[in-house]
Amino acid sequence: MALPTMENSNGGRAGPAFVALLVIGALYWLTAMARSGIGFGQLADLPAGLVVGWRTAVVAGLALLMLIRTQGDIRVLLGGSLALIALADFLLATKGLMAGGTVFVAAHILAIVLYLRYRDPVAPQRVRAAALAVPVLAVLGVAIAINAGGQHPVHLAYPAISGSMAACAIGSRFPRWLCGLGASLFVLSDVIFFWDFAFFDGSGALGWLVWGSYFSGIALIALGAIRGPQKVQ
């Protein structure tokens, strides 16, 4: 049975829970800066379990908020996507790139399905050009990294998929300055992640940039989902 679609069903504000999650995510960013050697050195040696649990919990919190505040196919597909992203983040930290990356791909596929359902048939040409540019630039950025780091070209499949997700978000009827921008920031975090491996031996020197773009991207996507898609004029 087809899932019901929701046209501007919430129009909503995220509320204090969303603000609280933003604060928690921002505090985690301080620990990421510490581990990257940028500042706040006293936070650099937090237990690994606390670090992993902290970042997983804040992303899972955004997923839960979106599941509560949305309905229909938005709840199932985009809420499910965010829940998978939280799981993928945990697996990336505990099981490695292959396990985490596989679940990230599944999350992106769910998001792509939703964004295509709410495709904007009258998107301006400049918007379509921007949507096309994101996956191209993502693949190019990761290609530079894997060439420098000697990694297998199969890794290019990931930015192609995540970039396609962002392209679909930009071309959808969800608020572009929320979902479109958020998805693009998410893709940027992927590129920075690969650059950290290629040029800093995976030391986490760029971890503060990865978290900043990753978390802000997810937060914008969640807020855009809560606001809901625009109706076709």
Structural domain spans, the chain = 16-227
Do 179 and 169 meet the contact criterion of CB atoms below 8 Å apart? Answer: yes
**Short-list 176, 191, 92, 98, CA closest to 145:** 191
pTM for the whole structure: 0.92
The yes-or-no verdict on residue 5 having pLDDT over 60 is no
The yes-or-no verdict on residue 231 having pLDDT over 90 is no
Cβ-based neighbours of 53, under 8 Å, separated by 6 or more: none
Confidence of residue 9 (pLDDT cuts 50, 70, 90): very low
What's the pLDDT tens digit per position in 159-178?
A: 999 999 999 999 999 999 99
Return mean pLDDT, the chain. Answer: 92
User: How much is the pLDDT for 151?
Assistant: 85
User: How much is the pLDDT for 186?
Assistant: 98
Q: What is the mean pLDDT of residues 50-65?
A: 96
Share of the chain above pLDDT 90, in %: 86
Helix and strand tally (H, E) in the chain?
9, 0
